[in-house]
């Protein structure tokens, strides 16, 4: 069965190097600043990954206690190298958090909620561990229409595997309906929800490096292997398609994220 949540094996390294600078660093800085606005004392990060967003949260909130969590230990191993020593690091499923209710002032989650098989549980858990006055700050990717690079990769996968295309590239871009996000948060007990759509022009230094991250830096790699796909050929084809679309690297490409702040009533 295709699993889009297993960021393990060599995935963390390819994710961090190939995707981190292009897709995650800018929005991590935005998230770190946003977290600091409410001057939290206790911050929980869920789906912290390799620590790109964790490092930004730590840098913008140096006085706060920070706990970072993720489902996959291999991702957290890299995160360990990026955060201050005082950071508590723990494997945890965002759908079943091992913390008491009201333990945190802010819960932050950058590009994680789309991976939860039961998103309602993830929103309820964030609400449960927040103290009165707390805020759940989370980001998701906007749709393929607003992240053309992802539509290109997904299109290539459909061409290469017409009978059974790997589903990964529909998951992170599949929770972009702003009103549905607001409803999900409110159904979990949050009050006011503030949502911003954030376009950004991000720099791609090398198509080969970015394509490496796009194919090997997430669970797609296993989905291709299980279909006996040729990973090096797919990376080369991805780099070629992206260069044909955007021109030779270095070049800036448009990406778009949605950042949500859900406040405890």
Ligand X SMILES: C[S@@+](CC[C@H](N)C(=O)[O-])C[C@H]1O[C@@H](n2cnc3c(N)ncnc32)[C@H](O)[C@@H]1O
Residues at the site binding ligand X, with contacts judged by CB under 6 A: 5, 7, 24, 28, 46-49, 52-53, 70-72, 75, 93-95, 110-112, 115-116
Task: Give the nearer residue to ligand X in terms of CB position, either 112 or 191.
Answer: 112
Instruction: List, in sequence order, every residue forming a beta bridge with 139; answer none if it has no partner.
Output: 110, 259
- Judged by beta carbon, residue 53 or residue 106, the one nearer ligand X is 53
> Do residues 158 and 144 make contact, with C-beta atoms less than 8 angstroms apart?
no
Q: Which residue is nearest to ligand X (CB)?
A: 49
CA angle 106, 112, 115 (to 5 degrees): 140
Token output for 75: 């991702």
CB of 71 to ligand X, least distance (A): 4
Task: For ligand X, give the closer residue by CB, 37 or 96.
Answer: 96
Q: Tokens for 2?
A: 């295709």
Structure tokens at 126: 């964030």
In angstroms, what is the minimal distance from the CB of 247 to ligand X?
26
Rank residues 28 and 181 by Cβ distance to ligand X and give the closer one. 28
Sequence-distant (6+) residues with CB within 8 A of 196 are 258, 259, 260
Nearest distance from C-beta of residue 121 to ligand X, angstroms: 9
Give the bridge partners for 201, in sequence order: 254
- Closest approach, Cβ 32 to ligand X, in A, equals 11
Write out the two tokens for 254: 């448009």
What's the DSSP call for residue 164?
Answer: S
| Of 71 and 181, CB closest to ligand X | 71
């Amino acid at each position: 069965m295709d699993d889009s949540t297993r960021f393990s094996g060599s995935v963390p390294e390819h994710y961090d190097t190939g995707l981190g600078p292009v897709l995650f660093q800018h929005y991590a800085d935005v998230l770190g600043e946003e977290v600091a606005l409410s001057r939290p004392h206790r911050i929980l990060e869920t789906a912290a990954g390799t620590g790109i967003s964790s490092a930004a949260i730590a840098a913008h909130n140096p006085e706060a206690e920070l706990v970072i969590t993720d489902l996959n230990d291999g991702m957290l191993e890299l995160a360990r190298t990026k955060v201050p020593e005082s950071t508590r690091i723990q494997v945890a499923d965002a759908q079943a958090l091992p913390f008491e209710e009201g333990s945190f002032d802010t819960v932050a989650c950058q590009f994680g909620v789309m991976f939860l098989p039961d998103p309602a549980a993830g929103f309820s858990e964030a609400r449960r561990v927040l103290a009165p006055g707390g805020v759940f700050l989370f980001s998701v990717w906007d749709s393929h229409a607003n992240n053309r690079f992802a539509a290109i990769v997904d299109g290539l996968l459909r061409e290469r595997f017409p009978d059974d295309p790997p589903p990964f590239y529909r998951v992170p871009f599949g929770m972009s309906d702003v009103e549905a996000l607001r409803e999900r948060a409110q159904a979990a007990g949050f009050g006011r929800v503030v949502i911003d759509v954030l376009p950004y022009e991000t720099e791609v230094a090398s198509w080969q490096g970015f394509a490496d991250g796009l194919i090997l830096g997430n669970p797609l790699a296993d989905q291709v292997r299980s279909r006996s796909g040729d990973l090096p050929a797919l990376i080369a084809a991805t780099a070629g398609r992206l260069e044909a679309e955007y021109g030779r690297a270095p070049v800036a490409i448009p990406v778009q994220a949605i950042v949500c702040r859900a406040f405890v009533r």
